[in-house]
Amino acid sequence: MSSTSVLIRRGHVIDPANNIDRPMDILLREGRVAAIVEPGGIKSDYDEDFDAHHLIVAPGFIDLHVHLREPGQQHKETIATGTQAAAAGGFTSVCAMPNTAPVNDTPDVTTWMLQPDRGAVVNVFPVAAATVGSSGEKLTNFRDLQRAGAVAVSDDGKPILDDNLMREVLRTAARLELPVVQHAEDPRMHPGASMNYGANSLRMGLRGMPNTSESSIVLRDIRLTRESRAHLHVAHISTAEALEAVRRAKKENLRVTAEVTPHHFTLLDENIGHYDTNFKMNPPLRSAADRDAMIAGLKDGTLDCIATDHAPHAYHEKEQEFDRAPFGIIGLETALPIAITVLHEHFEIPLLRVVQLMSTNPARLFQLMHRGTLAVGAFADVTIFDPKLRWKYQAATGYSKSKNTPFDGWDFTGKVMATIVGGKPVYLA
Ligand code: DOR
Ligand code: ZN
Q: Is residue 370 part of a domain?
A: no
pLDDT tens, position by position, 11-28: 999 999 999 999 999 999
Q: Say if residue 1's pLDDT is above 80.
A: no
pLDDT value for 174: 98
Residue 325 shares a structural domain with residue 243: yes
Domain end among 365, 395, 419: 365
Residue 88 shares a structural domain with residue 215: yes
Residue 341 shares a structural domain with residue 400: no
Q: Is the CB of 281 under 6 A from ligand 1?
A: yes
Q: Is residue 109 part of a domain?
A: yes
Catalytic residue of the set 25, 156, 290, 309? 309
pLDDT value for 41: 96
Neighbour-count burial of 80, counting CB atoms closer than 10 A to its CB (0-12 exposed, 13-18 middle, 19+ buried): middle
Is there a contact between 375 and 33 (Cβ–Cβ < 8 Å)?
yes
Give the mean pLDDT of the chain.
98
Q: Is residue 281 part of a domain?
A: yes
Q: Say if residue 175's pLDDT is above 60.
A: yes
- Which atom belonging to ligand 1 lies closest to the Cα atom of 328? 1
Could you give the percent of the chain with pLDDT greater than 70? 99
Q: Is the CB of 328 under 6 A from ligand 1?
A: yes
CATH of the domain at 87: 3.20.20.140
- Nearest of 183, 170, 175 to residue 134 by alpha carbon: 183
Q: Say if residue 3's pLDDT is above 90.
A: no
pLDDT value for 4: 87
Q: Is residue 49 part of a domain?
A: yes
Mutate to test the pocket of ligand 1, among 156, 181, 259 (most ligand atoms within 8 A of CB): 156
Neighbour-count burial of 182, counting CB atoms closer than 10 A to its CB (0-12 exposed, 13-18 middle, 19+ buried): buried
Mutate to test the pocket of ligand 1, among 64, 67, 400 (most ligand atoms within 8 A of CB): 67
Q: Is the CB of 331 under 6 A from ligand 1?
A: no
Q: How many CB atoms lie under 10 A from the CB of residue 18?
A: 15
Domain end among 365, 389, 412: 365
Q: Is residue 373 part of a domain?
A: no
Residue 70 shares a structural domain with residue 143: yes
Query: For the chain, how many structural domains are there in total?
Result: 2
CATH of the domain at 422: 2.30.40.10
Residue 31 shares a structural domain with residue 18: yes
pLDDT tens, position by position, 289-330: 999 999 999 999 999 999 999 999 999 999 999 999 999 999
Q: Is residue 99 part of a domain?
A: yes
Is there a contact between 118 and 109 (Cβ–Cβ < 8 Å)?
no
Residue 227 shares a structural domain with residue 263: yes
Residue 314 shares a structural domain with residue 394: no
Give the number of whichever ligand sits closest to the CA of residue 331.
1
In degrees, rounded to 5, the angle at the alpha carbon of residue 58 between the alpha carbons of residues 52 and 60 is 120
Q: Is residue 371 part of a domain?
A: no
Residue 44 shares a structural domain with residue 128: no
Residue 197 shares a structural domain with residue 295: yes
Boundaries of domain holding 417: 5-57+379-428
Q: Is the CB of 99 under 6 A from ligand 1?
A: yes
Q: What is the 3-state secondary structure (H, E, C) of 89-130?
A: CCEEEEEECCCCCCCCCCHHHHHHHCCHHHCCCCEEEEEECC
- Nearest of 367, 418, 330 to residue 68 by alpha carbon: 330
Q: Is residue 69 part of a domain?
A: yes
139 CA to centre of ligand 1 in angstroms: 21
Q: Say if residue 2's pLDDT is above 60.
A: no
Residue 137 shares a structural domain with residue 65: yes
Residue 72 shares a structural domain with residue 196: yes
Q: Is the CB of 183 under 6 A from ligand 1?
A: yes
* Catalytic residue flag (residue 309): yes
Residue 189 shares a structural domain with residue 290: yes
Please state the rounded mean pLDDT for residues 20-41. Answer: 97
Written as one string, the DSSP assignment of 350-383 is -HHHHHIIIIIHHHHHTT-TT-S--STTSB--EE
pLDDT tens, position by position, 108-167: 999 999 999 999 999 999 999 999 999 999 999 999 999 999 999 999 999 999 999 999
pLDDT tens, position by position, 346-377: 999 999 999 999 999 999 999 999 999 999 99
Backbone angles phi, psi at 16, to 5 degrees: -55, -30
Q: Is the CB of 327 under 6 A from ligand 1?
A: yes
Please state the rounded mean pLDDT for residues 263-280. Answer: 97
Q: What whole-number distance in Å separates Cα of residue 229 and Cα of residue 105?
A: 24
